[in-house]
């Protein structure tokens, strides 16, 4: 595994005033690869290092940088605003700074304002052409730069595969910068095909995200917390050498989990569900997945989100008690990895499926027939707008009508059909913004039901449907092996390329994957697991069809 090069954003800006010698010196001491500097131009045409446009945030001066003469800028104090210890710091002039840093660290020039010809000439005069790259916030400057010079390395920011194509073909970029949340296998593949280096920008103090960057094996990371990253990278390297297996490549950019509360598998046969029918036809599915006892909403959801049996998580009623010892929740793990999460729900107790503060978007509407439709519309529009990496869409109508009118009653089957329409709205909304191709949709229930209730160990209560549809998954495949509700969370993480917590009890449902990597440790263990290879095991499972 090649090392990820570290780019220190504005120098060690947490420990010293940004864009000064002091900040650069600190990150050179750490041993980072690149120091990022902002290039600006004085009124009399001298290049300096300062973010700007105003000098007020980082010096004792007033006004805009480009209105000041070099004689005025040289007199500014660029350190006191940060701490009295830095009182002597000046706004560095670019040329002496580059002479000083040459051989100590490479340079990323974020050009705010410059005389492009002079700047390019300076780089060649100092023989820094192989030790720097450029970025221009202003598109016209980026184009002009490329016109003037075909060789110096240019960085372009991207979020999609189409952006990567444009970066290469329009700007002849040498590297691209991408946010961690936008990183996907197709994007990485496109960069590799075109010989573009990949830099992730992640300014947050976030060990989980840093590990994710290391797993992706990108070329550079642009960050504010170089010291923390180096520590995480050292741990990661030690772990990697201790592991027998290589990290697994992520497969999906997003997972949307649709939860039809109390939906029996045979209800999907009986009700009008064109969307679910399509997901099944084009995906992998089973009508024989199993939930946990007691087969009621909160224990089942806790088993889903914490990948644990009730004996382990301790939630055996619809009253929440935190798992003891603590367990990580699916939403928390995804959030800690630096990804966006969203939940749409109508039953308040489900708030504990995400520990406080771990969910980026949470939409709650107390259940009613009208609120059900509103929640569906909110899920469709918000998921398409915010594009979270994981979204949970809880659909309560099935359970509510089951209790009131009976499981498998006409009203209950109508609720299944209404839920199907909401799934269709979300899928269509994602398709409309071009995000469906990299999304995996899962459809499932927490438990089944019979008569006017559930909670027993009877097959009608314990058997649930589970469907997984999307890129990289098998199509029109009826899953032969067993699927348990505790397997869903590890499968979601596997698809997103996020490490699975050791405490979790479920297994990755490897059978849904279209292409099986030859040396995948998880699949290896799945396939040697007798419950995966023995298809007779599934016939011993209780089927809802025969009750």
CA atoms within 13 A on the CB side of 530: 2
Q: How far is the CB of 539 from Zn ion (least distance, A)?
A: 29
DSSP lists the bridge partners of residue 136 as: 111
Tokens coding 352: 């504990």
Q: How far is the CB of 262 from Zn ion (least distance, A)?
A: 5
Q: How far is the CB of 455 from Zn ion (least distance, A)?
A: 8
Tokens coding 232: 């995480």
Check whether the bond before 229 is cis (ω within 30° of 0): no
Q: How far is the CB of 3 from Zn ion (least distance, A)?
A: 53
Nearer to Zn ion, 40 or 302 (CB): 302
Nearer to Zn ion, 206 or 399 (CB): 399
Give the C-alpha separation, 379 to 472, whole Å: 24
Q: How far is the CB of 271 from Zn ion (least distance, A)?
A: 18
Residue 392's SS3 state is strand
Whether 427 contacts 275, CB under 8 Å: yes
- Convert 453-470 to b/e letters by CB count within 10 Å (16 or more is b): bbbbebbbbbbbbbbbbb
CA atoms within 13 A on the CB side of 368: 5
Report 448-487 residues binding Zn ion (CB under 5 A).
none
> Helix H segments across 433-497?
459-462, 488-496
DSSP lists the bridge partners of residue 270 as: none
Q: Identify the burial level of 139 via C-beta atoms within 10 angstroms of its C-beta, where 0-12 means exposed, 13-18 middle and 19 or more buried.
A: exposed
Nearer to Zn ion, 177 or 399 (CB): 399
Contacts of 314 (CB under 8 A, 6+ apart): 321, 323, 324
Q: How far is the CB of 330 from Zn ion (least distance, A)?
A: 22
Tokens coding 450: 């019979």
The C-alpha angle with vertex 228 and arms to 7 and 332, in degrees rounded to 5, equals: 110
Q: How far is the CB of 487 from Zn ion (least distance, A)?
A: 22
Nearer to Zn ion, 89 or 399 (CB): 399
Nearer to Zn ion, 246 or 453 (CB): 453
Nearer to Zn ion, 368 or 480 (CB): 368
Residue 546 phi/psi, 5-degree rounding, is -105, 25
**Length of the chain counted residue by residue:** 547
Nearer to Zn ion, 61 or 262 (CB): 262
Residue 355 phi/psi, 5-degree rounding, is -55, 150
Residue 482 phi/psi, 5-degree rounding, is -70, 145
Residue 267's SS3 state is helix
Q: How far is the CB of 465 from Zn ion (least distance, A)?
A: 16
Give the count of residues interacting with Zn ion (CB under 5 A): 1
Q: How far is the CB of 403 from Zn ion (least distance, A)?
A: 6
Give the C-alpha separation, 381 to 359, whole Å: 18
Q: How far is the CB of 290 from Zn ion (least distance, A)?
A: 17
Whether 272 contacts 420, CB under 8 Å: yes
Nearer to Zn ion, 155 or 450 (CB): 450
Nearer to Zn ion, 297 or 425 (CB): 297
Q: How far is the CB of 424 from Zn ion (least distance, A)?
A: 24
Residue nearest Zn ion (C-beta atom): 399
Nearer to Zn ion, 76 or 296 (CB): 296
Report 372-411 residues binding Zn ion (CB under 5 A).
399
Whether 337 contacts 316, CB under 8 Å: no
Residue 500's SS3 state is coil
Nearer to Zn ion, 352 or 399 (CB): 399
Q: How far is the CB of 405 from Zn ion (least distance, A)?
A: 13
Nearer to Zn ion, 382 or 396 (CB): 396
Report 154-213 residues binding Zn ion (CB under 5 A).
none
Could you tell me the CA-to-CA distances from 111 to 100, 143, 251, 441 in Å, in that order? 19, 13, 36, 42
Rg (CA), the chain: 28
Q: How far is the CB of 457 from Zn ion (least distance, A)?
A: 16
Nearer to Zn ion, 133 or 407 (CB): 407
Contacts of 24 (CB under 8 A, 6+ apart): 11, 12, 35, 37, 97, 101, 105
Write out the residues near Zn ion by the rule CB under 5 A.
399
């Amino acid at each position: 595994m090649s090392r990820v090069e570290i780019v220190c954003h504005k120098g060690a800006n947490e420990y010293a005033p940004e864009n000064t010698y002091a900040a650069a010196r600190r990150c050179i001491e750490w041993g980072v690869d690149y120091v990022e500097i902002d290039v600006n131009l004085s009124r009399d045409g001298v290049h300096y290092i300062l973010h700007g446009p105003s000098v007020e945030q980082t010096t004792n001066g007033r006004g805009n940088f480009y209105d000041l003469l070099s004689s005025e800028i040289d007199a500014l104090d660029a350190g006191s605003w940060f701490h009295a210890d830095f009182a002597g710091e000046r706004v560095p002039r670019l040329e002496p700074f580059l002479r000083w840093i040459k051989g100590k660290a490479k340079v990323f020039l974020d050009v705010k304002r410059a005389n492009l010809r002079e700047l390019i000439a300076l780089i060649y005069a100092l023989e820094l052409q192989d030790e720097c790259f450029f970025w221009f916030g202003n598109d016209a400057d980026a184009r002009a730069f490329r016109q003037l010079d075909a060789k110096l390395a240019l960085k372009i920011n991207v979020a999609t595969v189409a952006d990567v194509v444009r970066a290469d073909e329009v700007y002849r970029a040498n590297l691209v910068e991408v946010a961690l949340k936008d990183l996907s296998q197709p994007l990485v593949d496109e960069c590799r095909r075109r010989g573009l280096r990949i830099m992730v920008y992640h300014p947050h103090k976030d060990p989980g995200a840093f590990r994710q960057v290391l797993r992706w094996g990108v070329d550079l990371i642009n960050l504010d917390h170089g010291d923390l990253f180096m520590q995480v990278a050292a741990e990661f390297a030690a772990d990697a050498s201790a592991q027998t297996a290589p990290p697994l490549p992520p497969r999906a950019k997003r997972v949307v989990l649709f939860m039809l509360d109390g939906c029996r598998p045979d209800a999907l046969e009986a009700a009008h569900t064109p969307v679910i029918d399509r997901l099944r036809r084009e995906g992998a599915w089973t009508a024989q997945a199993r939930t946990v006892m007691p087969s009621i909403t909160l224990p089942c959801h806790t088993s889903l989100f914490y990948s644990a049996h009730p004996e382990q998580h301790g939630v055996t009623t619809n009253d929440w008690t935190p798992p003891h010892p603590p367990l990580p929740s699916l939403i928390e793990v995804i959030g800690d990895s630096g990804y966006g999460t969203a939940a749409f729900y109508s039953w308040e107790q489900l708030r504990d499926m995400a520990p406080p503060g771990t969910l980026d978007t949470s939409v709650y509407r107390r259940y009613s027939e009208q609120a059900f439709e509103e929640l569906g519309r909110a899920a469709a529009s918000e998921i398409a707008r915010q594009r979270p990496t994981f979204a949970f869409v809880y659909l309560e109508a099935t359970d509510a009508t089951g209790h009131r009118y009976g499981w498998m009653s006409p009203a209950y089957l109508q609720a299944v059909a209404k839920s199907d329409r909401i799934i269709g709205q979300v899928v269509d909304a994602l398709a409309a913004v071009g995000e469906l191709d990299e999304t995996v949709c899962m459809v499932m229930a927490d438990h089944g039901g019979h008569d006017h209730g559930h909670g027993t160990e009877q097959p009608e209560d314990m058997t649930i449907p589970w469907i997984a549809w999307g890129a990289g998954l098998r199509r029109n495949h009826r899953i032969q092996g067993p699927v348990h509700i505790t397997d869903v969370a590890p499968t979601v993480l596997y698809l997103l390329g996020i490490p699975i917590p050791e405490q979790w009890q479920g297994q990755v449902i490897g059978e849904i994957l279209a292409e099986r990597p030859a040396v995948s440790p998880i699949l290896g263990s799945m396939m040697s697991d007798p419950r995966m290879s023995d298809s007779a095991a599934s016939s011993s499972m209780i089927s809802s069809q025969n009750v």
